């Protein structure tokens, strides 16, 4: 029998409190039975200079410009489209296998 172990990961995040102070918080993220559980492990106050050192990195590359594609209209309004389907039997529904309540 297979026993499932919960997947765990420790995540560190810099947060700012309502008073404006910066805090380094560590969380334990656990995925168990398809659900994610979060638990605060520790929190410590840090200076503003330390918080700015841990800010998100500036991207080193910019995205390339995307050229727009133009489409040419093939059919005019009122033209007849000939379908290869002559029998529409594929639209009939299949009966259910078990009774549905």
Has residue 18 got a pLDDT over 80? yes
Q: Please report whether residue 71 resides in a domain.
A: no
Domain encompassing residue 33: 1-54
- Per the structure, how many domains does the chain have? 1
pLDDT of residue 95: 66
Q: Please report whether residue 87 resides in a domain.
A: no
Q: Please report whether residue 37 resides in a domain.
A: yes
Q: Please report whether residue 49 resides in a domain.
A: yes
- pLDDT by residue (tens digit) across 66-79? 677 777 767 666 66
pTM of the model: 0.47
- pLDDT by residue (tens digit) across 24-60? 999 999 988 788 899 999 999 988 887 777 666 666 7
Q: Please report whether residue 93 resides in a domain.
A: no
Q: Please report whether residue 11 resides in a domain.
A: yes
pLDDT of residue 41: 93
Helix (H), strand (E), coil (C) string for 23-72 = EEEEEEEEEECCEEEEEEEEEEEECHHHHHHCCCCCCCCCCCCCCCCCCC
């Amino acid at each position: 029998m297979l026993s499932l172990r919960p997947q765990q990961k420790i995540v560190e995040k810099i947060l700012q409190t309502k008073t404006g102070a910066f805090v380094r918080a560590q969380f334990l993220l656990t995925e168990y039975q398809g659900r994610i559980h979060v638990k605060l492990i520790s929190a410590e106050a840090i200076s503003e200079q330390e918080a700015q050192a841990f800010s998100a990195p500036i991207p080193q590359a910019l995205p390339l410009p995307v050229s727009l594609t133009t489409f040419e209209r093939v059919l005019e309004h009122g033209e007849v489209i000939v379908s290869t389907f002559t029998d529409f039997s594929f639209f009939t529904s299949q009966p259910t296998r078990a009774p549905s309540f």
